[in-house]
Chain A
Amino acid sequence: MSSLFNLPEIKNPPVVIRASDVSKRFVIRKDKSLKERIVNFGRSRRHKEDFWALRDIKLEIKAGSSIGLVGANGSGKSTLLKVIGGIIQPNDGVVERRGRLAALLELGAGFHPDLTGRENVFLNGSILGLTQKQTAEYFDSIVEFSEIGDFIDTQVKFYSSGMYVRLAFAIAVHVDPDILLVDEVLSVGDEPFQDKCMAKIREFQAEGRTIVFVSHSAAQVEDLCNRVIVLSHGQIIFDGATDEGIVALRESFGK
C-alpha cells in the first residue's frame, strides 16, 4: 500500500503529534457594543451561546504518515489544525508535538502589499522560522520555484493573485518542516503550477515528513493520504484507511 502512495517504509515510526482529550469551546456573543452589554448585564447568559468546536479529541500521529482531515463545513477541521499548530489554545486537554512544525493555513499571510517580492521573501521566511542566512541561501531556488522572474523586485500589490500565491507557496516549501499542516491551499495557481505543488508534496512524503491536510476534495485526499480522520460536530467519527474514510465522510454529510 505504501508504494502506491509513494510513502517510504519506516521502521518504528515515533509519535510526532499527540492530542489528549482536547476540547475547544467558542462563546458566541450576540451583543457586542458596550450599550448592549450594560443593558443586558445579568441576563447575559441568554445573549451568549456555547458552541463546541472540538470535543474530547484523542489523536496520535506517527512520523512519515499523511493524514487527511475531512468533514462537513463547521465540523472543526480547521480548528483542530489550529490547535495542533498552537494558534488557538484549547479549553481542555493538551496537544504535544516534536520536530519542526510549519503551518500553511493561508498562503502569503505575512505579505505586506507595499514591500517588494524580495523583501517579502525574507519577512515571510522569518515568520515561518527561517533565519536570514537560510533565506538568502534558498533565495534563488524560491524565485525559480515561484516562476516570478524579474517581478521579484516589484511591490507585491502589483502582483496577480496567481503570482502572489506562487511566491508564498515557494517560500513555504523551502522551510524544511518535519510536520506540515496544510489547509486547503493546494489548489493554487494554474494547472502546471498545481502539478508542481503536488510533486513537491510527494517529495515531502518520500522524505518522511508528516503531513496533515484539511481538504474538501475527496479525490485529493484519496490521492495523497494513507489515513483519514473524519470529523463531525467536533468529534472524530472515523479514523482509519482512506477508502473507508471517504465512505464515512459521505455518510456524515447526511447527519
Chain B
Amino acid sequence: MSSTAQERSDRLSTLPFQTSSSSDESAIGGFWASIRELLAHRELLDLLIRRELKARYKDSSLGFLWSLIKPLTLLLIYYVAIGQFLGAARGIPDFAIFVFAGLTIWGLYSEIVSAGTMSIVSNAGLIKKVYLPREIFPLAATGSALFNFAVQMSVLILATIVLGQFPVSWNLLYVPVAIAIVLIYGIAFAILLSALNVYLRDIQYLVEVAMLLLFWASPIVYAWSYVVNAVDVPSWLPNVFLLNPISNAVLAFQKGMWQAGSETRLIDGVSILPQPWPADLDLRLAIVAVVGLVLLIICQRVFQKLQGNFAQEI
C-alpha cells in the first residue's frame, strides 16, 4: 500500500503548482483561458443542457410538445388579432409565415437572455459548493434555448414547404447570419446579466420588462415597410430603429425565410410591393456582428471580475 502512496507523492512532486484562488484577477486567466477551461468542461455543458431539457417537462404527459404549443398559440393570437382584426395581413403577404419567422428568431433571443439571467442564481447550490467555470450556466441556458429554437425552426421550414413558399434563393444565407448575431448578443447579455443579477435581483424583473419593450421595438408582428412608410414619422426614426442589433437580425431572418417579402404579391386585387429592406443590410450585419463580438469579450471580462464573489453573495 505504501508504494501507491509513494508513487502518488513522487508524481505530485513533478507537477507544477497551479493557482487555486488569488486576489490578483489577472492570475485567473484571460478570455482565451476561460474558453479553454470551458472546452475542457464541454461534456458537463452537454449534461447540463440535457438536465435542463429533461427536467423541464419531466412529469408532464405532453412533454416537449409544450415547447411548441406556446409559440403556436402566440402565432394564432397575432394572426387573428393583428393580422385579421387589425388588418395587417392585408398589407403583408403570407402573414402567418412572416409572423412565425419573427417569433422563432425572437424566441431564441428572449429565451437565451431571460433564462441566462436566472441561470447563476438558480444554480446557487452548485456555485457555493463546487468550483466550475461559472460561464457554463448561462451557456447551458443558451443550449436549451437553441434546442427549442431548432424544434420551432423545423416547424417553420415544414410550413414553408407545405405552403410551397420554401425560399430557394441566395437570401437563405441570411438565416445563419441572423442566428449567429442573435447568439452573440444573447450570450453576451446572458453572461453579463446573470452576474449582475447575483448582486441586484431587480435585474431579472428589469429583463422581463425590457424584453417586452424590445419585442414591440423589433419588426416582428408588423412589417419593416410599415415603419418606413408610416405617416408623420420623422425620417431619422427608421435609422434609430436599425441601431437595435436584434432588429437587424430579425430583418435578416425574415429576408431569408419569408419569400413573399421579396416579391410583388397581389392581395384582394391590391398589389403589394416587396419589402423596402434596408439598402445596406449586409454592411449593417457585418458591423453588428463585429460590435457584438467585442461586446461579448467585454461582458465575459466583467463576468470574470464579478464571479470571484458569487459564492458569498448568492
A131 lies within 8 A of chain B by Cβ: yes
Interface centre among B1, B19, B21, B27 (most CB of A within 10 A): B21
When A91-B23, A115-B55, A207-B5 are in contact, do A99 and B129 touch as well, CB less than 8 Å? no
Q: How far is the CA of A44 from the CA of B292 in the complex (A)?
A: 36
Which listed segment binds A: B6-14, B111-119, B185-193?
Answer: B6-14
Size category of the B interface is: 35 or more
When A103-B129, A109-B126 are in contact, do A208 and B4 touch as well, CB less than 8 Å? yes
Q: Shortest CB–CB separation between residue A62 and chain B, in angstroms?
A: 9
Q: How far is the CA of A34 from the CA of B47 in the complex (A)?
A: 37
- CB distance A85 to B51 under 8 Å? no
Question: Which one of A93, A127, A178 lies within 8 Å of B130 (CB-CB)?
Answer: A127
- CB distance B125 to A109 under 8 Å? yes
Q: In the complex, which residues of chain A have a beta carbon less than 8 angstroms from the beta carbon of B48?
A: 123
B17 lies within 8 A of chain A by Cβ: yes
A107-145 CB mask vs B (1 if < 8 Å, else 0) is 001101011000100110011100110000000000000
Question: Which one of A92, A106, A127, A208 lies within 8 Å of B6 (CB-CB)?
Answer: A208
B270 lies within 8 A of chain A by Cβ: no
B236 lies within 8 A of chain A by Cβ: no
B97-137 CB mask vs A (1 if < 8 Å, else 0) is 00000000000000000000000000001111111100000
B1-40 CB mask vs A (1 if < 8 Å, else 0) is 1101111110011011111111111011000000000000
When A64-B5, A98-B12 are in contact, do A90 and B51 touch as well, CB less than 8 Å? no
- CB distance B17 to A96 under 8 Å? yes
Question: Which one of A11, A91, A97, A128 lies within 8 Å of B20 (CB-CB)?
Answer: A97
B268 lies within 8 A of chain A by Cβ: no
Q: How far is the CA of A87 from the CA of B23 in the complex (A)?
A: 13
Q: How far is the CA of A90 from the CA of B311 in the complex (A)?
A: 12
- CB distance B47 to A87 under 8 Å? no
B267 lies within 8 A of chain A by Cβ: no
When A13-B9, A123-B47 are in contact, do A82 and B23 touch as well, CB less than 8 Å? no
Q: How far is the CA of A83 from the CA of B20 in the complex (A)?
A: 8
User: B-side binding surface: helix, strand, loop or mixed?
Assistant: helix
Segment 56-80 of B: residues with Cβ below 8 Å from A: 58-59
Q: How far is the CA of A62 from the CA of B99 in the complex (A)?
A: 65
Residue of B with least CB distance to A37: B200
Question: Which one of A92, A115, A127 lies within 8 Å of B132 (CB-CB)?
Answer: A127
Q: In the complex, which residues of chain B have a beta carbon less than 8 angstroms from the beta carbon of A252?
A: none
A86 lies within 8 A of chain B by Cβ: yes
- CB distance A208 to B51 under 8 Å? no
Q: How far is the CA of A123 from the CA of B140 in the complex (A)?
A: 13
Q: In the complex, which residues of chain A have a beta carbon less than 8 angstroms from the beta carbon of B312?
A: 26, 88
B43 lies within 8 A of chain A by Cβ: yes
A10 lies within 8 A of chain B by Cβ: yes
A237 lies within 8 A of chain B by Cβ: no
- CB distance A92 to B5 under 8 Å? no
- CB distance B131 to A86 under 8 Å? yes
- CB distance B20 to A82 under 8 Å? no
Q: How far is the CA of A34 from the CA of B4 in the complex (A)?
A: 57
Q: In the complex, which residues of chain B have a beta carbon less than 8 angstroms from the beta carbon of A153?
A: none
- CB distance A106 to B129 under 8 Å? yes
A77 lies within 8 A of chain B by Cβ: no
Q: In the complex, which residues of chain A have a beta carbon less than 8 angstroms from the beta carbon of B43?
A: 126, 131-132
Of all A-B residue pairs in the complex, the 9 with the closest CB atoms, nearest first, are A208-B5, A89-B308, A14-B13, A8-B5, A8-B2, A109-B129, A96-B17, A98-B15, A86-B131
B-to-A contact residues, CB < 8 Å: 1-2, 4-9, 12-13, 15-25, 27-28, 43-44, 47-48, 51, 54-55, 58-59, 125-132, 200, 202, 308-309, 311-312
A-to-B contact residues, CB < 8 Å: 8-14, 16-18, 23, 26, 34, 63-64, 82-99, 101, 103, 105-106, 109-110, 112, 114-115, 119, 122-123, 126-128, 131-132, 155, 178, 206-209
A87-B130, A208-B8 provided; 17 other pairs, C-beta below 8 A?
A: A11-B6, A11-B9, A34-B202, A63-B13, A83-B21, A84-B21, A85-B20, A88-B308, A90-B21, A94-B23, A94-B27, A105-B130, A115-B54, A126-B44, A127-B126, A128-B130, A155-B58
29 A-B pairs in the complex with CB atoms less than 8 angstroms apart: A12-B13, A14-B13, A63-B9, A63-B12, A64-B8, A64-B9, A85-B131, A87-B128, A89-B21, A89-B25, A91-B23, A94-B19, A96-B18, A97-B20, A98-B15, A98-B16, A106-B128, A109-B126, A109-B128, A114-B55, A123-B51, A127-B130, A155-B58, A206-B2, A206-B4, A207-B5, A208-B4, A208-B6, A208-B9
